[in-house]
Amino acid sequence: MARVYNFSAGPATIPEAVLERAQAEMLDWNGSGMSVMEMSHRGKEYMSIAAQAEADLRELMAIPDNYKVMFLQGGASSQFSAIPMNLLRGKTTADYINTGAWSKKAIAEAKRFCDVNIAATTEDTQFMTTPKQADLNLNSDAAYMHFTPNETIGGVEFPYLPETGDVPIVADMSSTILSRPIDVNKYGVIYAGAQKNIGPAGLTVVIARDDLVGNAMDGTPAMLDYKNHVDNDSMYNTPATYSWYLAGLVFDWLKSNGGISAMAQINERKAAALYAAIDGSDFYANPVEVASRSWMNVPFTLADSELDSVFLEEAKQNGLVTLKGHRSVGGMRASIYNAMPEEGVNSLISFMADFEKRHG
């Protein structure tokens, strides 16, 4: 068996130790005589798995007690509509920052429910930057301010948390959650599809300040109303039981590896090494403003795009896969989430240098 280094943006690589543990527990979880997939979500075994995952996530992110944690389905994309439905609370307008493809989708969905004030957009830089605090045109009447801390497709990450006064901040952290410590207290709602930096697809984590739960607008479908999920411990309906379990194994793995601050150091090193390799060469380029470069998703282009397919093919022969850039951007993209080991990034860097020598 030969495992590759998988640079997919999502579903993304999962720590090998987690997969091995899942494999070991597959046929008989903890003496239950069955796999987690086969368990009733209301049985005491599964309830203990679910509760432990939540406790570990709370510990890892230091989530305060006045925040609810939900383990939902429907992807981050469902949250694009759940956010306005739960958070408008009688208001008619919300602020959105537009930094790229995922912001745009969130904005398009919000427009179905309210007036969207674009507090800032970086479209004039082809989304290669993040706006400065001083350039945010914030509305103090906004029900909330939504932004995308890390744009997975463009590889653009906010180097700071915007200040919004009393207006709750909502963050789509799908591709940056757990990559570095954050102060949860500063947010109203954090949400993330699991398939980037948490675990398998099918699970969406939502962390919501409790005063923002319980005021969904009239007509909100039961499955999008946070209160239903909070009141039922995310078991209003059958949850994505196996994905939730796997996420729990990832949380446990993170804890045994020193938690998020230890991860942040590794993530910073991985990103720094890859950007240094790109910047140190005339053959590779990354167009993103240096201060806004993502730690998690690193797009890069080759001097001659005719070589793209050769690059991808040779990389694959070297056990480095899923490096093709998003169809809207082209070139390459290396997603280097928590589960991508440093050796994987170093192996990519060596391959890039060697490729440049032969083709540059």
Ligand X SMILES: *Cc1c(COP(=O)(O)O)cnc(C)c1O
Active-site annotation, residues:
102, 172, 196
- The answer to whether 77 contacts ligand X (rule: CB under 6 A) is yes
Least distance from ligand X to the Cβ atom of residue 75, Å: 3
Least distance from ligand X to the Cβ atom of residue 188, Å: 17
What H or E segment, with its residue span, contains residue 58? Answer: helix 44-61
- Name residues whose C-beta falls within 8 Å of residue 253's C-beta, 6 or more positions apart in sequence: 15, 17, 18
| CA 7 – CA 67 distance, rounded (Å) | 33
| CA 134 – CA 348 distance, rounded (Å) | 38
User: Pattern of binders to ligand X over 101-130, x per CB under 6 A?
Assistant: -x----------------------------
User: Pattern of binders to ligand X over 9-38, x per CB under 6 A?
Assistant: -x----------------------------
C-alpha separations of 268 from 78, 164, 275, 357 in Å: 31, 27, 11, 27
Nearer to ligand X, 95 or 109 (CB): 109
- The answer to whether 196 contacts ligand X (rule: CB under 6 A) is yes
* Binding segment (CB under 6 A) for ligand X, from list 75-83, 231-239, 240-248, 280-288: 75-83
Nearer to ligand X, 150 or 286 (CB): 150
| CA 161 – CA 106 distance, rounded (Å) | 18
| CA 31 – CA 35 distance, rounded (Å) | 10
154-174 burial, b if ≥16 CB within 10 A, otherwise e?
A: bbbbbeeebebeebbbbbbbb
Least distance from ligand X to the Cβ atom of residue 294, Å: 11
- The answer to whether 209 contacts ligand X (rule: CB under 6 A) is no
Least distance from ligand X to the Cβ atom of residue 222, Å: 20
Least distance from ligand X to the Cβ atom of residue 206, Å: 12
- The answer to whether 344 contacts ligand X (rule: CB under 6 A) is no
Tokens of 356: 């440049």
Using CB under 6 A, which of 193, 199, 239, 248 touches ligand X?
A: 193
Tokens of 303: 């001097």
* Binding segment (CB under 6 A) for ligand X, from list 35-43, 71-79, 162-170, 352-360: 71-79
- The answer to whether 75 contacts ligand X (rule: CB under 6 A) is yes
Rg (CA), the chain: 21
**How many amino acids of this chain bind ligand X (CB under 6 A)?**
12
Least distance from ligand X to the Cβ atom of residue 231, Å: 24
Tokens of 103: 């912001």
The DSSP code for 130 is -
Give yes or no for a contact between 282 and 303, defined as CB atoms under 8 angstroms apart: yes
- The answer to whether 199 contacts ligand X (rule: CB under 6 A) is no
- The answer to whether 322 contacts ligand X (rule: CB under 6 A) is no
Give yes or no for a contact between 203 and 72, defined as CB atoms under 8 angstroms apart: yes
* Chain position whose Cβ is nearest to ligand X: 75
Tokens of 163: 């200040």
| CA 62 – CA 273 distance, rounded (Å) | 29
Structure-token match 């709370």, residue found: 58
Least distance from ligand X to the Cβ atom of residue 321, Å: 19
- The answer to whether 148 contacts ligand X (rule: CB under 6 A) is yes
Give yes or no for a contact between 9 and 24, defined as CB atoms under 8 angstroms apart: no
Question: Of residues 149-168, which lie at the interface with ligand X (CB under 6 A)?
Answer: 152
Nearer to ligand X, 72 or 277 (CB): 72
* Binding segment (CB under 6 A) for ligand X, from list 21-29, 70-78, 129-137, 253-261: 70-78
Q: Which residues bind ligand X (CB under 6 A)?
A: 10, 75-77, 102, 148, 152, 172, 174-175, 193, 196
